[in-house]
Amino acid sequence: MDINEKTLGVLIDELITTCMKCWFAQENVMNPDLSEKERLNAAIRTQEMNDRRNRLIRSIDSLMGHGKSTPSDKSYSGRFGK
C-alpha cells in the first residue's frame, strides 16, 4: 500500500517502528565491537530510516491538514530511493 493511502493509525504505527529501527541503527554506528563494514552499513540504514521517518511525518502532517508546516524538509530520498 502506498504511504499516501494509509490511515493515520497505520502511519503512526509505522512512524514508531521506524524511529525504533533508526535508534537501533544509530546504536550500531557507535558500537566499537562491530567491524567497520558493519558500522558503515548501520550508518546507511540510519539514513534510510531517517528518510522514511521524514516521509511518514510529512504524510501524517498532510493527513491532519498541516502539510505546509512540517519541519522535516531535508530528505535523502534521491539517494536511497523511496
Q: What is the mean pLDDT of residues 3-7?
A: 80
Q: Cell match 498532510: residue?
A: 62
Q: For residue 51, what are the CA distances in angstroms to 31, 34, 71?
A: 22, 24, 13
User: Between 73 and 40, where is the model more confident?
Assistant: 40
Q: What phi, psi does 64 have (nearest 5°)?
A: -90, 5
C-alpha–C-alpha distance, residues 56 and 50, integer Å:
10
Q: Are 63 and 53 in contact (CB under 8 A)?
A: no
Position 35 scores a pLDDT of 97
Predicted model pTM: 0.75
> Residues 28, 60: contact at Cβ < 8 Å?
no
Give 72's Cβ-side CA count (13 Å radius): 18
